[in-house]
Amino acid sequence: MSARNALAALALLATAATPADDATYRARFDAFMANPAQFDYSPMEPVPGARRVRPLAQRKAPTIAPAALDEAARYAEANRSSALLVWRDGALESARYFGSTTRDTPLVSKSLAKPLTAIAIGRAIMLGSIRGLDQPIADFLPELKGTPKAAILVRHLLDMRSGLLDQGYSPDPEHPWNRAYLDPDHGQYIVQSYPLTDAPGSRYAYANAPSELIALVIERATGRRYSEFLSKEVLGPLGAAGGEIWVNRPQGLAHSGCCIKLPAETWLKLGILLLDDGVANGKRLLPSGYVREMRTGTPQNPNFGLGVWLGEPYRERRGFGAPGAPGPQVLHSEPYLDPDLFLFDGNSNQTVHISPKHRLIVLRMGETPPKAPEWDNSTLPNLLIRGLGR
């Protein structure tokens, strides 16, 4: 770590909880328990986009059958969507926005933020700030040295094999799930107090906590704020519009695991970046082979890579937790018609399906779909692939 980065690390460590912070935590906890769906992410910090946002090309003569595009729009609208974008091989086939949402509306990402953390790490590796996926996070978080958490590697934060406690729900204000999410110093809480339940690398356990540590790792590795790093190193080169991200307190740590708001087209451009193997506008942003790593599952969960979900092996119902574990299950009524398809998948069915075979990306964002008929993750991509007629 350079002297500049070491000073930045010390600055990030220099804050401590105060009675005012505890009052903030209690107010957040009460608000979250009262209505988690309407929780106010505050304060927010700007994440500027590119100085000149590059509009996506609109295809004049779609290559997907109009009937398929119309049926996809009906499915999206019936499922309380805010945006449905269909892009294929260089151009938008269709862009539909619903209600008050427009092309410029920043949309809550939920766990679409998790593949963004993998892109941020890849960019930091490309810049030389991080040696690679198998570097211990204790190199950036020296507080962990000499503890069992020192065995956590950078890749473990991305592939959910950190060994940190699985995600869940508790009405107890002192439960680690609540402290790790709502505490005004949540990063240090995760470092110091969030439970390690398994040896790092030994078990898949989906949780917000490991993704939340990405912001801290990026800031320690680069000496730059997470929002600024995303702005200058990811959104700027993509020609993408920016938005804002939740920070735990003014000038505090960003919530990298859940709570960034960006317009739908920006999420689509992140998908295009991965489809193009980490190259955007003629510039390599991610190391060669990095996207292949993102699309590779683990023995503990073959359906999850680095922040992204994998269509194969096929599972009719796939949970976010460890395979076979109890919890909500996402329906896939049939296998994806592209077996190499991978996707971003967040709470309330925020999805970005990416089909390498057909160079097709289908984005759906919005509110939680109705319980009946049940949302089906395979419907939109397979409907549109069939609409290609080949």
DSSP secondary structure string for all residues of 157-175: HHHT-S-BPPP---S-TTS
Distance CA 102, CA 50 (A): 19
Evaluate if pTM is beyond 0.75. Answer: yes
SS3 361: strand
CA distance linking residue 129 with residue 121, whole number of Å: 9
Indicate the DSSP class of residue 232. I
Residue 11 lies in a domain: no
Q: Which amino acid is at 355?
A: S
Q: Give the residue-averaged pLDDT of 275-294.
A: 98
Rounded (10°) CA dihedral 274, 45, 39, 235: -10
Condensed to tens digits (0 to 9), the pLDDT of residues 189-208 reads 999 999 999 999 999 999 99
Which of the pair, 190 or 38, is modelled with greater confidence? Answer: 190
**DSSP strands (E only) in the chain:** 44-47, 81-88, 91-97, 107-108, 243-246, 260-262, 279-280, 283-284, 309-310, 317-319, 329-331, 342-346, 350-355, 360-366
pLDDT above 90: percentage of residues in the chain: 91
Rounded Cα distance between 23 and 6, Å, is: 31
- pLDDT for residue 154: 98
Other residues' Cβ atoms within 10 Å of the Cβ of residue 365: 29
pLDDT tens for 200-256 read 999 999 999 999 999 999 999 999 999 999 999 999 999 999 999 999 999 999 999
Number of domains, the chain: 1
CATH number, residue 117: 3.40.710.10
Give me 379's structure tokens.
């419907």
From the CA atom positions of the chain, what is the Rg in Å?
Answer: 20
Q: What pLDDT does residue 37 have?
A: 85
Burial class for 326, CB neighbours closer than 10 Å (0-12, 13-18, 19+): exposed
Q: What are the beta bridge partners of residue 245?
A: 45, 260
- The helix/strand/coil state of 120 is helix
Mean pLDDT for the stretch of residues 311-333: 93
If pLDDT is split at 50, 70 and 90, which confidence band does 19 have? low
- Tell me how crowded residue 39 is: count the other CB atoms within 10 A of its CB: 16
52-109 per-position pLDDT tens digit: 999 999 999 999 999 999 999 999 999 999 999 999 999 999 999 999 999 999 999 8
Q: Please report which confidence band the pLDDT of residue 17 belongs to, taking 50, 70 and 90 as the band edges.
A: low
DSSP assigned state of 373: S
Q: Does residue 34 lie in a domain region?
A: no
Residue 379 lies in a domain: yes
Question: Does residue 296 sit within a domain?
Answer: yes
Q: Report if residue 192 sits inside a domain.
A: yes
* Tokens 């065995």 -> residue: 151
User: Per-residue confidence at 390, pLDDT binned at 50, 70, 90?
Assistant: low
In this prediction, residue 3 carries a pLDDT of: 35
Cβ atoms < 10 Å from Cβ of 57: 10
Q: What is the pLDDT of residue 324?
A: 85
Domain assignment present for 370: yes
Average pLDDT over residues 291-311: 98
Number of H helices, E strands in the chain: 13, 14
Residue 327 lies in a domain: yes
pLDDT at 15 over 70: no
Domain presence at residue 189: yes
Q: Average pLDDT, stretch 326-336?
A: 94
Tell me what pLDDT residue 327 has.
Answer: 86
- Put residue 76 in one of left, alpha, beta given phi > 0 → left and psi -120 to 50 → alpha: alpha
Check whether the bond before 43 is cis (ω within 30° of 0): yes
Domain span including residue 345: 63-386
| 8-state DSSP, 118 | H
Rounded Cα distance, 72 and 379, in Å: 8
